Amino acid sequence: MWEVSQDFLESIPVSGDIETVVTVEVPGQTIVLDIVSGAVSGQSGSNVRRQANLIVSGGDDKDLYEAVSQEGTEIAIKHGPSWGTQKEIIPVLTGFLSVNNLQRGDGSFPLTAADYGANLNDQALKPSVTQSGSMTRSQAIFELVAGSFPDMIFHDDGSDTGTLSTDQTWTGKRWEAVNTLATDGMTDVFFLPDGSLQRRAYPVAADPVWSVRAGGTSPVILTEKRARQLDSLFNAVQVLPGSANGTQDWSSVLVQITNPSSPRYPGRKGIGLRVKDIQAPTAMTVEEAMALGAAKLDQLQGASQTINLGILANVALEIGDAVEVYTSAWEGTPAESLIAIVDAFNIDLMDGSMTVDLRSGSSGI
């Protein structure tokens, strides 16, 4: 969760003002765009974690369109509340513009933007990059990102101190290599809304950063939907070595649900084995590979039931943050509280609301 003041959090459930500032950096100038409408969304597990769809005014201004429609135009979107004479506008997306459309007829100018992950995902490592086995995974990740963003600021929670173990040669996409290393260390690597790089351990449903309430003293829940996905549910993870030089002494590890009472037990009628493959080029032992497989399987099971909440926007929330949810009592259903992990969100920049998709860390919510 982005660092915000207590006043920021307290302003969310009261009537107040919100503000959005959109700036684009083009060679030689900074342009502030007038936003008409827009949203910033985030999703876990995809190469582009944060993206924005905006409509700005100036559809009849070809000079403005030409100025911001250059390759490599950087965009920064900030959003936040104001209360009294104070305001706190925090970053919600820093990245590059991906598509600009000049639109005649309605005066608008739609833009889409994505965080830096989109750029790294487009970059092929050719010639291949070789990293020494003595390097920590953290150093290796930073070196791969800094190869494209030399001034990148890197935050690491220090949960993984492992090394590459053996010399690694990367030939695919730059962001793919980063994510492989992140998975090996049981971590997520992503860009924070201010454009800096963050690495942190897989989220767990503990230590909530915020309470989301229906009714009571701090009402922020506007809508509540639950979904149970009853197909394509993984019940096994196959870990493959993935290293090119053959120094790993194991060939494949399968981690699967063995508890017959689990609804996803492979032996149950019609379920069978549903396997997710992951590569672990830096796991040198079977034990490491098994631990990795178990962690991934735990994460995959957390999506058996998801909760979609419409809430008053706390734009400081980050994917992977744990939140405490107090639901309202429905007819025949008592109110309940639970802790869940933010899996996806969509912030409406104009109306002060957002939706969040929540999942549990492991067993169902």
- CA–CA separation, 76 and 94 (whole Å): 5
Which residues ranging from 311 to 350 are in contact with another protein (CB under 8 A)? 312, 328-329, 350
Residue 106 touching another protein (CB under 8 A): no
Among 33, 220, 257, 358, interactor with another protein by CB under 8 A: 220
The vertex-73 CA angle with 76 and 188, nearest 5°, equals 55
- CA–CA separation, 130 and 138 (whole Å): 15
| Amino acid symbol at 341 | I
Cβ nearer to another protein, comparing 221 with 344: 221
Residue 332, both tokens = 């025949």
Residue 19 touching another protein (CB under 8 A): yes
- CA–CA separation, 148 and 266 (whole Å): 44
Cβ nearer to another protein, comparing 36 with 294: 36
Residue 55 touching another protein (CB under 8 A): no
Nearest Cα neighbor of 22 from 33, 10, 7 is 33
Residue 9 touching another protein (CB under 8 A): no
Kindly state the smallest distance separating residue 290's Cβ from another protein, in Å: 43
Asked whether the beta carbons of 339 and 206 are under 8 A apart, the reply is yes
Q: What is the dihedral of CA 17, 18, 20, 21, to 10 degrees?
A: 50
Residue 351 touching another protein (CB under 8 A): yes
Kindly state the smallest distance separating residue 311's Cβ from another protein, in Å: 9
Q: Which stretch binds another protein (CB under 8 A): 134-142, 150-158, 208-216, 275-283?
A: 208-216
- CA–CA separation, 45 and 53 (whole Å): 20
Cβ nearer to another protein, comparing 38 with 320: 38
Asked whether the beta carbons of 276 and 257 are under 8 A apart, the reply is no
Kindly state the smallest distance separating residue 333's Cβ from another protein, in Å: 12
What is the total count of residues that contact another protein (CB under 8 A)? 26
Q: Show the binding pattern over residues 162-201: x = contacts another protein (CB under 8 A), - = does not.
A: ----------------------------------------
Nearest Cα neighbor of 165 from 134, 138, 143 is 134
Which residues ranging from 293 to 312 are in contact with another protein (CB under 8 A)? 312
Binding region for another protein (CB under 8 A): 13-20, 60-61, 214-216, 219-224, 312, 328-329, 350-353
